[in-house]
Structure 1
């Protein structure tokens, strides 16, 4: 009898509901992660990194959705144990219901945008993106740390986390979708041998493939592309290359380091803007 009384006590029932919800939350997360992993293995992706990004993104959204559903059911069960009359509460909250309804429009828009982001693969967890919208004049850039159906979390270079509602992201720039390009402009002196410059640039790009670690992320070596412009004090040469997503800065920096050394070896000058100041003397003659 005592055991029955304890089990039927509201506090005990609430504790049981919370424990069951926690267990369901944990098991649902594991099941979702396993299922998404198996599904992604059946699909073809250009790189393993692309598959892992998509897997983390989809699994994260489904885990969050499952968690919301589980705890909503748990909350309803707890209110039932406490004998809340939801009908009376809803009837007495007519004014607040209108306010909530107006806010729900924006929330629904966020959820719909999140669904399209997921289905169209606009960006994934781990991508480096720039988002603009919601009345913000400047774009927000950073690494995508988390995506839910309602919000996207970006972490910028300073470590600041930006939380952006999906419905407000009107302009999306993904800098790491499938591959990234390395674009480097180099200014050389006007008296430089352009054929030699091209040869050295291409050689440096090809030599980087001899490094096993670099070769893993270089899809197309950095190479001479064209004479891009005539500057005030230099001929501007544009180079291009293709690398794995988010590796353009590392590879670009290593290419610049090697190119600087190679140019010095070949006697090619990399020019920078200079200001030349000429001083003239005025000779004043005394009239006699």
Structure 2
């Protein structure tokens, strides 16, 4: 069957919505009414921060909301800002990671998203290699823990965090070397990193084939997909601006074609309107646009890596 369509809940809590974020209930009702099949949960307060959920009673409202609206929870993006995996010791990171895994287990969520947390840095070679090795070891251990819970670990690279050059992304995926550690391909981040070379210093690593070439590079490691447009600009000079479909320069058909056949294994495609001030309007029109892409590039009978399990 075709993948299901999800909406990233951070769109109504970061950037222009940060001063007055939507409640999780409000955005879920919006997503259901707009035609999405699920919501990808932003694990930052005021949404579902995993450390606020310690017992079965804490989850009842999330389960009831999901069931009432006929939605699913497609993935979880926990707040790990206090445990950057390339900096802290492995035990410290894994303690937080296991708590986030328990959150996923409670809700039957089968995808957990991580990033390097640390900002881009021009590190001395020895420190770079030490941090890189620590990160690879830590995420290998995390991927093994996630596998035991039937949760796929997906890493989202972006210019706002350390390691976004195409060669670095591929190198880390190879270094972690765990079948349960995959990459989250965000079309906006791929453009700002691989085409614009954002936050890569004086000597950016640019791909002549743009987002499509980036897609070919990571296709064997693909675990999850975020779709949104980009013109190469940054939000607050930190990370990729996310533009409504058609407002940027991403060639979606070409990129999606390059992601096959790994694209065929994905149970979810997520629309990511992070930092976009016109989300309330444009996330509605995104539904028919992305579903038309699904009709062209997603199979109608392939089995994915596993949908969310009912609680």
TM-score by length of 2: 0.21
Between Structure 1 and Structure 2, the one with more helix by share is: 1
Between Structure 1 and Structure 2, the one with more strand by share is: 1
Q: Looking at CA atoms only, which structure, 1 or 2, has the larger radius of gyration?
A: 1
Q: Identify which of structures 1 and 2 has the higher relative contact order when contacts are C-alpha pairs closer than 8 Å and 6+ apart.
A: 2
TM-score by length of 1: 0.22
